Amino acid sequence: MTYLIDRRLQGKNKSAVNRERFLRRYKAQIKDAVGRAIKGRSITDVENGEKVSIPVKDVSEPSFGHAHGGIWEVVNPGNQEYLKGDQINRPKGGGGSGRGKAGNSDQTTEDDFIFELSREEFMNYFFEDLELPHMVKTQLTATTDFKNQRAGYNMSGTPSNIHVLRSLRGALGRRIAVGGNSRKRVIEAERELEELLLEGVPLQDARVVELKKLIHHLHTRLLAIPFIDPFDLRYTNRVKVPKPMTQAVMFCIMDVSGSMDETRKDTAKRFFILLYLFLKRVYDKIEVVFIRHHTAAAEVDEEEFFHSRESGGTVVSSALHLLDKIIDERFGAGSWNSYVAQASDGDNWDNDSVLCRQLLVNTIMPKVQYYTYVEITDGPPQNLWEQYSQVPDHHQHFAMQKIVTPADIYPVFRELFKKQPK
């Protein structure tokens, strides 16, 4: 029998095993907290950790106690008002005796048990329903950036760039080279002096005195060689080399007319989050542009994009015109990879849907890497869907799917971004 003993240390006196057991036990409360966090977060900030609050009543542990057992008769002294069988009236004022004022709602009360989810744990709960598909980037446009790269050593530089090991190695080589001849002569003189002394030559002999003076002079010269000299110092040299940097722009287009309720907007936000996380895995720099539209389109910030609601009809072509204008003015010249994600319930004016198809086929699709359209509705396909279904006949990098419930987001995302056959 083989026993495996895990002796890995737990950081900060925390037990990973107990933490995993805790997360499994309170999975429902944690998923609710993650769902609330997603609704209130920015798309670009979705993958950070999150503080989760669980009521104390949900984390209470079962306890065992010793009951009295049997029949007990208890005499309570001082009871002059009640007898056995009397009924006590309900206290007035809601049944509570406390009359304190309500506290600040922003402060954490004692009934809250708060702990923090790490980035990995947060993303695991966010992507728990389905696995993200394996994406392959088919087209890449790079812009030139520069990065510092090491390129040998310099004999001059700032003290912070001194390469200690290289400097000491140079100093050692210099001492060996400079003192090599003297060191060799010292060895020869000491050997000759030793042979003369073994032969019985007196210390007052002229040759012996001359050898001692020579040895002393050579040792003095060797000791005069400095341990390190400014000539030995070497500094790390760095040069700027061109580095390809990939960059992408993500356009989020959403219908905010009266027919798009908060549930549909929340579904669209989760889809946009998936697209952003995918692009962030394959691109170094990502810009996010939000375009909302009803009868007119406007570029807005994320807060207004998801929480603004308008009444009236829908003119989708207004958003496509604005998209084309933004690409030409800010993200053109082939230096950006443009990805567009459009979410709508499919409602649109009949004549405008034909114009939308023409704009996509003739103007927008040649400028973007990929265009995805999701229709969030549980009814039959609308006229916008019928017109968009003709776009793939002209451009293969256009995809469209229908989302009925939030559970359809991940399968739809997989279908939209699956690897295309070559």
Which of the two residues, 395 and 244, has the higher pLDDT score?
A: 395
Residues 378 and 267 in one domain: yes
Q: How far apart are the first and last CA of the chain?
A: 51
Assigned domain for 66 exists: no
> Nearest-CA neighbor of 275 among 403, 413, 408, 371?
413
Give bridge partners of residue 398 from the DSSP assignment. 371
Predicted local distance difference test score (pLDDT) of residue 362? 92
Rounded distance, CA 295 to CA 319, Å? Answer: 9
Residues 183 and 122 in one domain: no
Q: CA of 364: how far to CAs of 95, 261, 330, 338, 339, in Å?
A: 67, 28, 14, 10, 11
Please state the domain count of the chain: 3
Domain boundary among 181, 216, 237: 237
> Nearest-CA neighbor of 233 among 186, 164, 160, 176?
164
Rounded distance, CA 211 to CA 214, Å? Answer: 5
The answer on pLDDT for 246 being more than 80 is no
- Residue 365's CATH number: 3.40.50.410
Convert the pLDDT of each residue in 6-57 to its tens digit.
565 555 545 556 777 777 777 777 777 776 666 655 655 555 666 777 666 6
Residues 206 and 253 in one domain: no
Residues 290 and 227 in one domain: no
Convert the pLDDT of each residue in 354-412 to its tens digit.
899 999 999 999 888 888 898 888 878 778 888 899 998 888 888 888 888 777 776 67
Q: Hey, what are 207's tokens?
A: 């040759």
Share of the chain above pLDDT 90, in %: 6
Average pLDDT over residues 55-71: 68
> Nearest-CA neighbor of 275 among 319, 338, 341?
341
Residues 223 and 326 in one domain: no
Convert the pLDDT of each residue in 170-198 to its tens digit.
888 888 888 888 888 888 888 888 888 88
Global confidence as pTM: 0.50
Assigned domain for 203 exists: yes
What torsion, rounded to 10 degrees, do the Cα atoms 22, 28, 33, 39 define?
150
Assigned domain for 220 exists: yes
**Beta strand pairing call for 370-376 and 112-117:** unpaired
Residues 30 and 170 in one domain: no
Assigned domain for 94 exists: no
Which residues span the domain enclosing 119? 15-56+114-128
Q: Hey, what are 49's tokens?
A: 């950790």
Residues 266 and 383 in one domain: yes
Residues 260 and 231 in one domain: no
Assigned domain for 85 exists: no
Residues 353 and 289 in one domain: yes
Domain boundary among 237, 267, 298: 237
Predicted local distance difference test score (pLDDT) of residue 14? 54
Q: What phi and psi, each to the nearest 5 degrees, are found at residue 225?
A: -70, 120
Convert the pLDDT of each residue in 152-167 to its tens digit.
888 888 888 888 888 8
- Read off the pLDDT band of 133 (50, 70, 90): very low
The answer on pLDDT for 104 being more than 60 is no
Give bridge partners of residue 272 from the DSSP assignment. none
Residues 311 and 260 in one domain: yes
Assigned domain for 206 exists: yes
Assigned domain for 77 exists: no
Rounded distance, CA 373 to CA 416, Å? Answer: 9
Beta carbons of 76 and 320 less than 8 angstroms apart: no
Residues 44 and 186 in one domain: no
The answer on pLDDT for 142 being more than 70 is no
Residues 274 and 215 in one domain: no
As a residue count, the chain comes to 422
Beta carbons of 310 and 294 less than 8 angstroms apart: yes
**Beta strand pairing call for 285-293 and 235-255:** parallel
Domain boundary among 237, 258, 280: 237
**Beta strand pairing call for 142-154 and 297-300:** unpaired
Please write down the HEC assignment for all residues of the chain: CCCCCCCCCCHHHCCHHHHHHHHHHCHHHHHHHHHHHHHHCCHHHCCCCEEEEEEHHHHCCCCCCCCCCCCCCCCCCCCCCCCCCCCCCCCCCCCCCCCCCCCCCCCCCCCEEEEEECHHHHHHHHCCCCCCCCCCCCCCCEEEEEEEEEEEEECCCCHHHECHHHHHHHHHHHHHHHCHHHHHHHHHHHHHHHHHHHCCCCCCCHHHHHHHHHHHHHHHHHHCCCCCCHHHCCEEEEEEEEEEEEEEEEEEEEECCCCCCHHHHHHHHHHHHHHHHHHHHHCCEEEEEEEEECCCEEEECHHHHHHCCCCCCCCCHHHHHHHHHHHHHHCCCCCCEEEEEEEECCCCCHHHHHHHHHHHHHHHHHHCCEEEEEEECCCCCCHHHHHHCCHHHCCCCEEEEEECCHHHHHHHHHHHCCCCCC
